[in-house]
Amino acid sequence: MVKLKNGIRTKGLILLTAMLAVAIVVAGCSSNNNGSNAGDGHSAATEGQYTPDPGTPAWQLDKRAAPTKLKWYVNADWWNKDFGHDVVTKKIKEDLNIDIEFITGDDTKLNTFFAGGKMPDMITTFDINSSVVQKAATWALPLNDLAQKYDPYFNTVAAQDTLNWFKQPDGNTYGYSNYSNTQADYDSGNIPAKTAFIIRKDVYEALGQPSMGTPEQFLTVLNDIKKQFPDLLPFGFNSIGTGTGSLGDALQDFIGVPLVDGNGGFYNRNLDEDYLTWVKTLNTAYRNGTISDDSFADDGTAFEEKVKSGKYAAMLLDGTPQMGGNLQIFMSGNPGKEYMAIDGPQSTAGHKPTLNQSGITGWMINFITKDCKDPAKAIQIFTYLLSDQGQMLMNYGIEGETYQKNADGTVSLLPAVKELQLNNADQFKKEYRMGEFMFFGHDRHKALSKDAFPESIIQMQEWGKGKLSPHFILENINPDPGTPEARALTNIDPKWSTTLVSMIRASDDARFDNVLNEYKAFLDKNSWDQILKVRNEKMKANKEKLGLS
């Protein structure tokens, strides 16, 4: 029985629902052309306006007098919707002759576009595993077709590995993300590490610059800190929350736990003996009173306040760029006490660190919809922002106006701009917006300037050179949403989080072992074998995408 809000039954609503269902089916069927003619119905506005040239960005060829108006939906309520008033977006507006209306929201609002039938011109979302992204062929235009038809220069600035990574079963690529790091990016050495074991400089020097590489050394130093610096917390880590903070994957990467098993299949790194040796070491540290109970309860804000005040003597910190402002506040107010990276815990099995960074999947995934009024202009936006010109604009603004080029090839913000960045972040954001408008941003351009990151983390990034290792093989290997395996994994993931905390806080070795064994039994009862099968299949597909098989 169907009712309106006032409880009255209506055949009209039933009919409307049926018609909508038919319309959706028809729309789905009409999209089963693999995108070969995608955008043909929208090309009249640009037909004959310019002749595409593989050697020239189309935005430089498109001389239409009237600006193009596009609606761009970003699936994040926090996104800054302003356009055309700050240095960055004003220049984009001028160069591309466009006027963008940003719309923001959450998954609920995103789904209304698909239910309502009328889509914005462009969509940015964040989850490659979502059903929206997986079904992109039904609502988005293929970037490879758009490039061929309107802007072949796109293929010059887009990374082929990224295009292949996002390629769907029909052979088309519909989305392109920011911070998509390829093997070439890792090999370049221009991607900075984001994980570090750090210690306060004054503490490190007072203790005689000790090594903390072995479990025994680690425990000795923490005990020494407890005695000589009683006002400090000897060891800290990222907020646990509902995950594992920096004591899960980050610690595993730090000590180089293998990514795959001996056959190249999925390896349960949580049960690696080397890793568990260090988890047991953390348990000993906890029982020694050198890890505080508060560290397991602190949320992100509480953790940040302790970093800002230098409360931790040492930390395993994941996400140094995000914590750079807090580290800078402590550094500026406490000369000679700033945090510095050291080698810290090392593998008991002889493995080298395999620190992770943003993978090939990236972060924000950008699409051009089938309802786009001007797909030619939309693909021009992709090309412009992916180009060196667009990257420099998004990171540093305009040469001579906000930054200057140095003799050694690096760039520096002009003094007045740098001063505003350091002392009035809100005004800097409003006037310049550099480092924020990053739909197609990439870390490689940040390597051009010391101004790209706060001084507080530069030494940490230097320490991390040569220690990064891509984790491409493990990206997007979880079971598809809605499957029995996915539902089982939603039980396993939080179970591991509570298990890890319980092991670190175990009262004795027997309790530690019992908690670990309970977790192993939990895996067996929650379809772990089937999850392994799915992950191995997806890892095999990843190898094919990456050309490793």
Looking up residue 486, the CATH number of its domain turns out to be 3.40.190.10
Task: Provide the pLDDT for residue 47.
Answer: 55
User: Residue 3 pLDDT more than 60?
Assistant: no
Nearest in space to 42 (alpha carbons), one of 150, 174, 167: 150
Task: Provide the pLDDT for residue 235.
Answer: 98
The last residue of a domain, from among 376, 392, 408: 392
Task: Provide the pLDDT for residue 17.
Answer: 38
Task: Provide the pLDDT for residue 30.
Answer: 35
Question: In this structure, is residue 445 part of a structural domain?
Answer: no
Question: In this structure, is residue 440 part of a structural domain?
Answer: no
The confidence band for 454, taking pLDDT boundaries of 50, 70 and 90, is confident
Task: Provide the pLDDT for residue 46.
Answer: 54
Task: Provide the pLDDT for residue 1.
Answer: 31
| Average pLDDT of the residues in 455-483 | 94
User: Residue 156 pLDDT more than 60?
Assistant: yes
Residue positions counted in the chain: 549
Among 3-12, 191-200, 279-288, 524-533, the minimum mean pLDDT is found in: 3-12
User: Residue 9 pLDDT more than 70?
Assistant: no
Q: Decide if 418 contacts 378 (C-beta within 8 A).
A: no
Distances (CA, A) of 253 to 269, 351, 525: 10, 10, 28
74/117 same-domain check: yes
The last residue of a domain, from among 370, 392, 414: 392
User: Residue 20 pLDDT more than 90?
Assistant: no
Residue with tokens 């006490």: 337
The confidence band for 322, taking pLDDT boundaries of 50, 70 and 90, is confident
Task: Provide the pLDDT for residue 512.
Answer: 98
The last residue of a domain, from among 343, 370, 392: 392
Nearest in space to 344 (alpha carbons), one of 483, 451, 480, 246: 246
290/374 same-domain check: no
Task: Provide the pLDDT for residue 118.
Answer: 84
200/318 same-domain check: yes
Question: In this structure, is residue 451 part of a structural domain?
Answer: no
**For residue range 387-430, what is the model confidence (pLDDT) as tens digits?**
999 999 999 999 999 999 999 999 999 999 998 887 787 888 89
311/368 same-domain check: no
Among 16-20, 101-105, 383-387, the minimum mean pLDDT is found in: 16-20
63/131 same-domain check: yes
Question: In this structure, is residue 110 part of a structural domain?
Answer: yes
Task: Provide the pLDDT for residue 14.
Answer: 34
Phi, psi of 285 (to 5 degrees): -60, -40
Task: Provide the pLDDT for residue 21.
Answer: 38
Q: Decide if 13 contacts 2 (C-beta within 8 A).
A: yes
86/122 same-domain check: yes
Task: Provide the pLDDT for residue 12.
Answer: 38
Q: How many Å apart are CA 145 and CA 372, to the nearest integer?
A: 14
Among 28-42, 211-225, 233-247, 304-318, the minimum mean pLDDT is found in: 28-42
The confidence band for 10, taking pLDDT boundaries of 50, 70 and 90, is very low
Question: In this structure, is residue 442 part of a structural domain?
Answer: no
Phi, psi of 368 (to 5 degrees): -115, 125
Phi, psi of 111 (to 5 degrees): -65, -25
332/231 same-domain check: yes
**For residue range 237-285, what is the model confidence (pLDDT) as tens digits?**
999 987 899 999 999 999 999 999 999 999 999 999 999 999 999 999 9
208/352 same-domain check: yes
| Average pLDDT of the residues in 527-548 | 94
Residue with tokens 């701009």: 417
Q: In sequence order, what DSSP letters do the residues of 5-53 get, joined into one string? A: TTS-B-HHHHHHHHHHHHHHHHHHHHTTTTTTTTTGGGGGGTTTT---B
291/339 same-domain check: yes
Question: In this structure, is residue 6 part of a structural domain?
Answer: no
Domain count, the chain: 2
Q: How many Å apart are CA 244 and CA 496, to the nearest integer?
A: 8
User: Residue 537 pLDDT more than 90?
Assistant: yes
Output the CA angle 275-279-281, nearest 5 degrees. Answer: 115
Question: In this structure, is residue 11 part of a structural domain?
Answer: no
User: Residue 494 pLDDT more than 50?
Assistant: yes
Question: In this structure, is residue 3 part of a structural domain?
Answer: no
**For residue range 44-54, what is the model confidence (pLDDT) as tens digits?**
445 558 999 99
Task: Provide the pLDDT for residue 549.
Answer: 65
Task: Provide the pLDDT for residue 223.
Answer: 98
Task: Provide the pLDDT for residue 6.
Answer: 36
Q: How many Å apart are CA 10 and CA 3, to the nearest integer?
A: 7
303/346 same-domain check: yes
367/251 same-domain check: no
Q: Which domain holds residue 294?
A: 195-356+471-545
| Average pLDDT of the residues in 470-480 | 94
Nearest in space to 240 (alpha carbons), one of 310, 278, 293, 288: 293
Q: Decide if 201 contacts 340 (C-beta within 8 A).
A: yes
What average pLDDT does the chain have?
89
81/206 same-domain check: no
